Amino acid sequence: MASSSSASSSSSSPCPASIDYDAIPAIALNYGVRKRLGQYLNPTNTVASDWTDLAERMDFTYLEIRNYERRENPTQTLLEEWQTRPEATVGKLLTFLEEAERKDIITDLKRHIDENCRKYLQKPVQVPVVDSGHQDRGITVLDSHMPEMFDAFICYCKSDIQFVHELIRQLEQTDHNLKLCVFDRDVLPGTCVWSITSELIENRCKRMVVVISDDYLDSDACDFQTKFALSLCPGARSKRLIPVVYKPMKRPFPSILRFLTVCDYTRPCTQSWFWIRLAKALSLP
> 241 pairs with which residues across the strands?
208
For the chain, the domain total comes to 2
Q: What is the CATH number of the domain that holds 43?
A: 1.10.533.10
Cα dihedral: 248, 251, 257, 259 (round 10): 80
| Confidence (pLDDT) at 136 | 55
Domain check: are 157 and 236 in the same one?
yes
- HSE (CB half, 13 Å, CA atoms) of 189? 0
User: Domain ends where: 86, 102, 122?
Assistant: 122
Measured between alpha carbons, how far is 278 from 239 in angstroms, rounded to an integer? 12
Convert the pLDDT of each residue in 134-153 to its tens digit: 445 688 988 877 888 999 99
> Among 25, 69, 80, 66, which Cα is nearest to 220's?
80
Are 114 and 155 in a shared domain?
A: no
- The DSSP secondary-structure symbol of 263 reads E
Give the count of beta carbons closer than 10 Å to the beta carbon of residue 218.
Answer: 12
The single-letter code of the amino acid at 135 is Q
Residues 203 and 81 in one domain: no
Query: Is a pLDDT exceeding 50 seen at residue 206?
Result: yes
95 and 163 together in one domain: no
What is the helix, strand, coil percentage profile of the chain, to 5? 50, 10, 40
Residues 53 and 170 in one domain: no
Same domain for 117 and 161, yes or no, is no
- Same domain for 279 and 155? yes
CA angle 209, 211, 213 (to 5 degrees): 160
Render pLDDT for 160-187 as a digit per residue (tens, 0 to 9): 999 999 999 999 999 999 999 999 999 9
Q: Is residue 215 part of a domain?
A: yes
pLDDT value for 208: 96
What's the mean pLDDT when you consider all of the chain? Answer: 85
- Range list of H helices, 69-186: 74-82, 90-99, 103-122, 161-167, 183-186
Q: What is the pTM of this model?
A: 0.56
Same domain, 12 and 100: yes
The H or E element that residue 207 is part of is strand 205-212
Quote the pLDDT of residue 250: 95
Q: Last residue of some domain: 122, 141, 176?
A: 122
User: What domain range includes position 45?
Assistant: 4-122
Assign residue 176 the CATH number of its domain. Answer: 3.40.50.10140
127 found inside a domain: no
Query: Do 162 and 85 have their domain in common?
Result: no
Residues 38-46: what's their mean pLDDT?
83
- Quick check: is 36 in a domain? yes
242 beta partners: 209
